């Protein structure tokens, strides 16, 4: 037992790398559903779900029970030594819910970044080509390869180079990237962005050197921006014309987060490779890729695998997650709670005395972003006088701090002034109403404090 005056947060600050950025100094001890209790007994309402991981809430009883049961059977059924029974069971459960029947062959890993790297290795081995095209605003992880694929913030790669070579970034249809107003026609942004992808293939990386286009169907760390269906269709066409693979990173947007099991489903576009992680095992480390048998057969035996790849306990937890989605009609709740949250945010935008500060409410399902009217435009860059005027302080970090004072966890995202809601997908109507109440108070307090 630690001494009564032991300060776990202070101990952590001393002994854990300063390289971790942390939202709060709370020490989490218990989690149940949408609530976390700290070592000091503070009960926090969680609008982060551990960054989109605990989609069924913390410690979902059926997932916990399945993991506990597996712990008594076999915990480490190593995949380079034999087949793992819980992994085989998971594949049977996963195949029917993947976004396209051609995705019939899998590889499991531990983290999202590892799965992204597995997708890159597959694309390179299968196409015998090297380069990868990514989107401006993308986030794919913090390893040396995935930091190279990331274009949401420089912090992930800064000072850590040289990173993996062979990565080219192209435009994503997000008004703020173009410095255009929020009401810019989305289809015009799509046309511009597809034009840039085609130019990238003519000016930067030839199709004969390019293995794949990698995209998050909803850009996550880059600002919670869904890719319009027409953009995904356009990318599919460009990939088909140039013999490139289309890789969808659904690490954050997958497992019911956007109201369908995978975000790409809504567009009807077929990815060649799907990357998943986070929500699949509700907190147990598990990730993976799904692709066609034909592509996956082009990798040499021994080129894939890893000590903990597709851990048995995590696989058992994942099968329980899939069962709970069915038994508990989780996607129905996502649709209802999404409507509740979005209509609350729109009413705040219209009715609050500070509502004009909310520039955009966007997203799908329970992956909802709020962007404040604080984004530099091309007009600012063009105008020398405006360029010298200091932009007002960002609102999102202040709102996050105000929410924390009121015992609610909420995250910001991207270089823009954006907040993101990622609650558990089974959050109740009452809990979400409480969160909306706390958000309103926090937003208004932050706006007032910033002198608006």
Q: Per CB under 6 A, which region of 58-66, 136-144, 198-206, 389-397 contacts ligand PLP?
A: 136-144
Task: Pick the binder of ligand PLP from 139, 174, 178, 416 (CB under 6 A).
Answer: 139
Residues 58-81 as b/e (b if ≥16 CB within 10 A, e otherwise) read bebebbbebbeebeeeeeebbbee
Residues contacting ligand PLP: total by CB under 6 A: 15
Task: Pick the binder of ligand PLP from 251, 324, 330, 418 (CB under 6 A).
Answer: 251
Q: Per CB under 6 A, which region of 106-114, 156-164, 261-269, 393-401 contacts ligand PLP?
A: 106-114
Identity of the residue, 33 or 112, whose beta carbon is nearer to ligand PLP in the bound complex: 112
Identity of the residue, 155 or 386, whose beta carbon is nearer to ligand PLP in the bound complex: 155
Identity of the residue, 256 or 431, whose beta carbon is nearer to ligand PLP in the bound complex: 256
Identity of the residue, 314 or 446, whose beta carbon is nearer to ligand PLP in the bound complex: 314
CB closest to ligand PLP, residue no: 112
The strand order across the sheet containing 408-409 reads 28-32, 35-38, 43-46, 408-409
Q: Among residues 315, 403, 405, 402, which one has the least CA distance to residue 107?
A: 315
Task: Pick the binder of ligand PLP from 60, 140, 364, 420 (CB under 6 A).
Answer: 140
Is the CA virtual torsion 150, 154, 155, 159 positive or negative? positive
d(CA 373, CA 97): 39
Q: What's the closest the beta carbon of residue 106 comes to ligand PLP, in angstroms?
A: 17
Task: Pick the binder of ligand PLP from 249, 272, 402, 444 (CB under 6 A).
Answer: 249
Long-range contacts of residues 352-359, Cβ cutoff 8 Å, at least 24 apart: 352/440, 352/443, 352/444, 353/444, 354/443, 354/444, 354/447, 354/448, 354/452, 357/395, 357/447, 357/452, 359/182
Coil vs helix vs strand at 255: coil
Q: What's the closest the beta carbon of residue 41 comes to ligand PLP, in angstroms?
A: 30
Q: What's the closest the beta carbon of residue 386 comes to ligand PLP, in angstroms?
A: 34
Which residues in the 158-217 window bind ligand PLP by CB under 6 A? 216
d(CA 36, CA 41): 9
Q: What's the closest the beta carbon of residue 113 comes to ligand PLP, in angstroms?
A: 3
Q: What's the closest the beta carbon of residue 274 comes to ligand PLP, in angstroms?
A: 12
- Residue 117 as a binder of ligand PLP (CB under 6 A): the answer is no
Task: Pick the binder of ligand PLP from 54, 106, 116, 312 (CB under 6 A).
Answer: 116
Asked whether 286 and 310 are in contact (CB, 8 A), the reply is yes
d(CA 250, CA 233): 17
Asked whether 138 and 150 are in contact (CB, 8 A), the reply is yes
Which residues in the 48-67 window bind ligand PLP by CB under 6 A? 51
- Residue 220 as a binder of ligand PLP (CB under 6 A): the answer is yes
Identity of the residue, 58 or 140, whose beta carbon is nearer to ligand PLP in the bound complex: 140
Residues that bind ligand PLP (CB under 6 A): 51, 111-113, 116, 139-141, 216, 220-221, 249, 251-252, 277
């Amino acid at each position: 037992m630690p001494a009564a005056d032991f300060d776990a947060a202070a101990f952590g600050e001393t002994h854990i790398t300063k390289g971790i950025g942390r939202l709060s100094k709370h020490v989490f001890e218990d989690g149940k559903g949408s609530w976390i209790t700290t070592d000091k007994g503070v009960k926090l309402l969680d609008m982060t779900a551990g960054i989109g991981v605990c989609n069924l809430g913390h410690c979902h009883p059926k997932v916990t029970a399945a993991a506990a049961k597996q712990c008594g059977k076999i915990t480490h059924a190593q995949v380079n030594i034999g087949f793992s029974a819980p992994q085989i069971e998971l594949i049977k459960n996963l195949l029917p819910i993947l976004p396209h029947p051609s995705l019939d062959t899998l590889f499991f890993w531990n983290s999202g970044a590892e799965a992204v790297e597995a997708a890159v290795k597959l694309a390179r081995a299968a196409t015998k080509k090297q380069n990868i095209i990514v989107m401006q605003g993308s986030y794919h992880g913090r390893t040396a390869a995935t930091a190279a694929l990331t274009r949401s913030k420089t912090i992930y790669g800064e000072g850590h180079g040289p990173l993996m070579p062979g990565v080219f970034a192209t435009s994503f249809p997000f008004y703020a990237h173009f410095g255009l107003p929020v009401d810019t026609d989305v289809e015009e942004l799509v046309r511009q962005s597809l034009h840039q992808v085609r130019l990238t293939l003519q000016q930067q990386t030839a199709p004969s050197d390019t293995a794949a286009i990698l995209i998050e169907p909803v850009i996550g760390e880059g600002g919670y921006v869904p890719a319009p269906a027409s953009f995904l269709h356009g990318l599919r066409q460009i990939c088909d014309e140039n013999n490139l693979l289309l890789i969808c990173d659904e690490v954050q947007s997958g497992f019911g987060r956007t109201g369908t099991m995978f975000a790409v489903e809504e567009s009807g576009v077929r990815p060649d490779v799907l990357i998943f992680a986070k929500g699949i095992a509700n907190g147990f480390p598990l990730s993976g890729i799904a692709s066609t048998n034909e592509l996956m057969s082009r990798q040499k035996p021994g080129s894939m695998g890893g000590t903990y790849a597709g851990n048995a306990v995590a696989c058992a937890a994942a099968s329980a997650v899939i069962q709970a989605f069915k038994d508990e009609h989780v996607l129905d709740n996502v649709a209802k709670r999404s409507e509740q949250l979005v209509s609350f945010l729109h009413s705040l935008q219209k009715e609050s005395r500070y509502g004009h500060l909310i520039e955009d409410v966007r997203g799908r399902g329970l992956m909802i972003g709020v962007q404040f009217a604080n984004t530099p435009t091309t007009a600012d860059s063009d105008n020398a006088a405006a360029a010298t005027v200091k932009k007002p302080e960002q609102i999102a970090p202040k709102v996050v701090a105000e929410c924390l004072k009121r015992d609610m966890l909420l995250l910001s995202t991207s270089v823009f002034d954006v907040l993101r809601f990622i609650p558990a997908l089974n959050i109740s109507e009452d809990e979400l109403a409480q969160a909306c109440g706390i958000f309103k108070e926090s937003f208004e307090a932050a706006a007032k404090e910033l002198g608006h």
